[in-house]
Amino acid sequence: MEDESKVKAAMPRLAARDKRLREQGKAEGDNEEDKSQYRDRAKERREAFNQPKKPVPQAVKQKPAKAEGSSSSSTPAAPTAPAPSKGSAMLAKMGWAGQGLGANGEGRTDIIVTNAYQEGAGLGAEGANLGDAGELARRRTKNDYGEYLSTAQEKARERYNRLN
């Protein structure tokens, strides 16, 4: 009997607790739905500012005409075609056609030379510069005895010349 009296006493408290939890769950559920729902802010911005889905490619600006006196005395150099490399191919896909980089198209057009340096030697150290990095990589990846022989002879000559 004592257990039944405890159950009867607890039932109103449990019902009140369940009701309170349901009400809180509904209030929190509404907030969670708003938070978890995806909102395409980029789409809203495009609609608000009347922007297209894909940006319009910008036209290449023409170089401003220079003073006529300086242009007649010196002939303009013909633009050189970019060397076939991975970097130039990537730039060509983005619209670059070999002109100089920068706002006015007057930037450098020549290839930046990469040099390999001996490991552990500083930039100013004698004999640290091993030469063109691309050529050095080609020599090291080929398994050619003649190439090895010529490299060994060059190093021996350099050591001999340093002694004299």
pLDDT in tens, 6-64: 888 999 999 999 999 998 887 766 555 556 788 899 889 989 998 887 777 777 666 66
In a domain, 118, yes or no: no
Give residue 16's domain range.
2-35
Kindly report the pTM of this predicted structure.
0.26
In a domain, 52, yes or no: no
Q: How far apart are CA 113 and CA 131, in angstroms?
A: 10
* pLDDT, mean of residues 67-79: 51
Angstrom CA distances, 62 to 38, 84, 107, stand at 44, 25, 14
Task: Tell me 107's DSSP state.
Answer: S
Locus of tokens 């398994």: 143
In a domain, 104, yes or no: no
- Asked if residue 84 has pLDDT above 60, the reply is yes
Task: List all residues 6 or more positions away from 113 whose beta carbon is below 8 Å from its beta carbon.
Answer: 132
- Domain count of the fold of the chain: 2
Phi, psi of 36 (to 5 degrees): -85, -15
Helices (H) and strands (E) in the chain, counts: 6, 2
**What pLDDT does residue 72 have?**
47
**What pLDDT does residue 161 have?**
94
